[in-house]
A and B are shown apart, each in its own frame.
Chain A
Amino acid sequence: QVQLQQSGPGLVKPSQTLSLTCAISGDSVSNNRAAWNWIRQSPSRGLEWLTRTYYRSNWYNDYAVSVKSRVTINVDTSKNQFSLQLNSVTPEDTAVYYCARQIATAGTYYLDYWGQGTLVTVSS
């Protein structure tokens, strides 16, 4: 059974950096049939995909246009986890942040396991 355990602060000051980590159990971050995503949810924006990382002989990252200039996704294979950094946050970045596993093989794509969610509030 795959489990994704999120960690990170729930309060970030404006202009600072939001940092979250997603620890994986029951799978490997290097699984070449999976991709590892960050998605956020807020009342104003609904569910919004942010970024993804995946391994296909090399590591690849994709980013949503809306946050591309501010977002970084990293992998720590030794700890089997991946992380999100979002720079220069504003109150509009207040949301529940989720990590999620994506099955990504030819002919099928879906998000089958999600982390528990982390409410991140941007406020001074």
Chain B
Amino acid sequence: SALTQPASVSGSPGQPITISCTGTSSDVGGYKYVSWYQQHPGKAPELIIYDVSHRPSGVPDRFSGSQSGNTASLTISGLQAEDEADYYCSSFTTNWVFGGGTKLTVL
């Protein structure tokens, strides 16, 4: 995949976790169009963060995004059981590039 994410992360309910997404100056570092998607098994991805740090309406405020240089990050401030899912970052340049996905396990 064009963007690099950890294959898996885990945490206990109530704990914070962060998922990183590393690209290059040609994608993540060069544009402010990083978005994050949550995908539950058998479902389509759902947008949870766009333009690095903006939350669509209806997304809980425990989800937040940030960026430093060529690395974007998704933070979930207090894990809940329903947050167990796969998470994908993406960057829009002229086309869409995606990360390989991170499996979040809530212990």
Q: In the complex the two chains form, what is the Cα distance from A111 to B92 in whole Å?
A: 10
User: Which of B33, B43, B46, B88 has a CB less than 8 Å from the CB of A109?
Assistant: B33
Q: A56 CB to closest chain B CB, in angstroms?
A: 15
Chain A interface size range: 20 to 34
For the complex, is A54 an interface residue (Cβ under 8 Å from B)?
no
Q: Are B92 and A114 in contact (CB under 8 A)?
A: no
Closest B residue to A108 by CB, please name it. B51
Q: Are A49 and B97 in contact (CB under 8 A)?
A: yes
- B56 contacts across to A, CB distance below 8 A: 112
For the complex, is B68 an interface residue (Cβ under 8 Å from A)?
no
For the complex, is B100 an interface residue (Cβ under 8 Å from A)?
yes
Count chain B CB atoms within 10 A of each CB in A46, A47, A117 and give the residue with the most.
Answer: A47
- B51 contacts across to A, CB distance below 8 A: 107-110
Closest B residue to A62 by CB, please name it. B95
Q: In the complex the two chains form, what is the Cα distance from A47 to B46 in whole Å?
A: 13
Q: Are A111 and B47 in contact (CB under 8 A)?
A: yes
- B26 contacts across to A, CB distance below 8 A: none
Q: What are 27 A-B pairs at a CB distance below 8 A?
A: A37-B96, A46-B1, A46-B98, A46-B101, A47-B1, A47-B45, A47-B88, A47-B101, A49-B95, A49-B96, A62-B95, A64-B95, A98-B45, A102-B92, A102-B96, A108-B33, A108-B50, A109-B92, A110-B92, A111-B47, A111-B90, A111-B96, A112-B47, A112-B50, A112-B56, A114-B44, A114-B46
Given contacts A49-B96, A107-B51, 4 further A-B pairs with CB under 8 A are A39-B96, A47-B1, A47-B101, A108-B33
Which A residues are closer than 8 A to B by beta carbons? 37, 39, 46-49, 52, 62, 64, 98, 102, 107-112, 114-117
